[in-house]
Amino acid sequence: MELFFQLTLAGLAIGSIYACVALAVVMIYQATDHFNFAQGEMAMFSTFIAFTFLTFGAPVWLAAVGAIAISFVAGLIIERVVIKPVENAPILNQIIVFIGMLMILNNMAGWIWEFTIKPFPSLFPSDWGVQSELIGPHHMGVIGLTLIVLFAIFLFFRFTRVGLAMRAAAANPDSARLVGVSVSWMLALGWGLAAGVGAIGGILVAPIVYLDPNMMSGVLLYAFAGALLGGVSSPFGAVMGGMIVGVLENWIGHPALSELLGFKMNELKLTFALMVIVIVLLFKPAGLFGRVVVKRV
């Protein structure tokens, strides 16, 4: 039973990270109707930027904040420069642009920082918080920080003028323009925020999976699964979905289950994420918390 709680708490921590990336995915989806296949690589690159700050001797928190700020600006620029030209292009062209970005970021990271695995420190010191058998300090910190970040984002969208304008621009761009909102800047801002949130995800996951250019491909898949499970039309849903996927993923890794089935289930975790994606898309495309979007034909 204790193992079960351990797995659940660790799942919540991993799930928090998926939630960050899933939220980034959903923010971009809401703003520009794209699935950003390069979201994972963007987060990875951000984490490497933090890593570089560390090698210059910056304290870990400062490195993280610096990397997140740079990611924000970079996200903004990417939207303006790379994404804008295909805003109204066919879906295939948009997918290709994301794949191109993924290739660029992945290979540039390998080129600059090499493809070897590197350790990355936790933001949370090991004597941090409540010492518990059930959950380590990093995992505890991850859950706490994610909740704070997500709550801050919620407040921003709910109660600020710019947050309202961003929601308006995403939901009804023509109308938003007619009240004086600069829609294209709002979309860019959405990209910037998504890049920042994704960076947080990367920085939080790096101490667990180690830092390397391919570290995010699995995380992105779980984040997609979480985003779809919660509902791509709902940021809240994406967060919940990410958490649920994290917990389920860890339960699946429970030795008792593997014993019961006669093979190691944790070897199929990515397949599990794939199944979640396909099953949700087939049977509940709106996700658990999303709205059904009726498309006019």
Partner 1 sequence: MAFLEVKGLKAFYRQVEALHGIDFEIEEGSIMTVLGANGAGKTTTLRAICRMVRTEGSIVFDGKDLTGMPTEKVVQLGIAHVPEGRGTFVRQSVEENLQLGAYTRNDKKEIEADIERVYEYFPRLRERQKQQAGTLSGGEQQMLAIGRALMLRPRLMLLDEPSFGLAPLIVKEIYEIMKRIREQEGTTMLLVEQNANIALNLADHAYLLETGDVVMSGESHVIRDDENVRKSYLGY
Partner 2 sequence: MTRPNRITPLLLIGFLVAIGIGILLPQFYPDFVTYQLTLAMAWGIAMLGLNVLTGYNGQFSVGHSAFFAIGAYSAAIFIEHFGWSPYAAIAGAALCSFIFGFLFGLPALRLEGLYLALATFGLAVATPQLLKFGAFEHWTGGVQGIFVPKPAPLVEGLTPDQSLYYVALGITIVLMVITWCILHSRSGRAMMAIRDNPIAARTMGINMPLVKTTTFGISAMYAGIGGCLYTYASEFVSPDAFNFFIGVYILVGSVIGGIVSIPGAIVGGLFIVFMPHVAEGVSNTYPWVPPPWAVFGVFLILVIYFVPFGVWGAVERGLAWTKRRMAG
Contacts with partner 2 by CB under 8 A lie at 33-35, 37, 82, 85-86, 89, 91-93, 95-97, 99-104, 106-108, 110-111, 217-218, 220-221, 224-225, 228, 262-264, 267-271, 273-274, 277-278, 281-282, 285, 297
Both tokens of residue 283? 């049977």
**Binding to partner 1 by residue 178, rule CB under 8 A?**
yes
Instruction: Read off the tokens for 51.
Output: 């890593």
126: partner contacted, choices partner 2, partner 1, none (Cβ within 5-8 A by kind): none
For residue 135 the two structure tokens come to 């959950």
Beta bridge partners of 211: 118
Kindly state the DSSP code that residue 222 receives in the 8-state scheme: H
Asked if 295 interacts with partner 1 (CB under 8 A), we say no
CB 209 within 8 A of CB 32: no
Number of residues that this document lists for the chain: 297
> Considering beta carbons, is residue 9 or 165 the nearer one to partner 1?
165
Residue number with CB closer to partner 1 (89 or 99): 89
> DSSP letter string over 189-205?
HHHHHHHHHHHHHHHHH
Give the binding-site size for partner 1 (rule: CB under 8 A): 17
Which residue in the block uniquely carries the two structure tokens 């799930």? Answer: 15
- Tell me how far apart the alpha carbons of residues 137 and 132 are, in angstroms, rounded to a whole number: 8
Task: Tell me the per-residue interface mask from 108 to 147 with partner 1, x by CB under 8 A, - otherwise.
Answer: ----------------------------------------
Distance set, CA 90 to CA 33, 85, 93 (Å): 12, 11, 6
x-marked contacts with partner 1 along 150-169 as a string, rule CB under 8 A: -----------x--xx-xx-
- Closest contact distance (angstroms) between CB of 225 and partner 1 is 25
Footprint on this chain of partner 1 (rule: CB under 8 A): 161, 164-165, 167-168, 171-172, 174-183
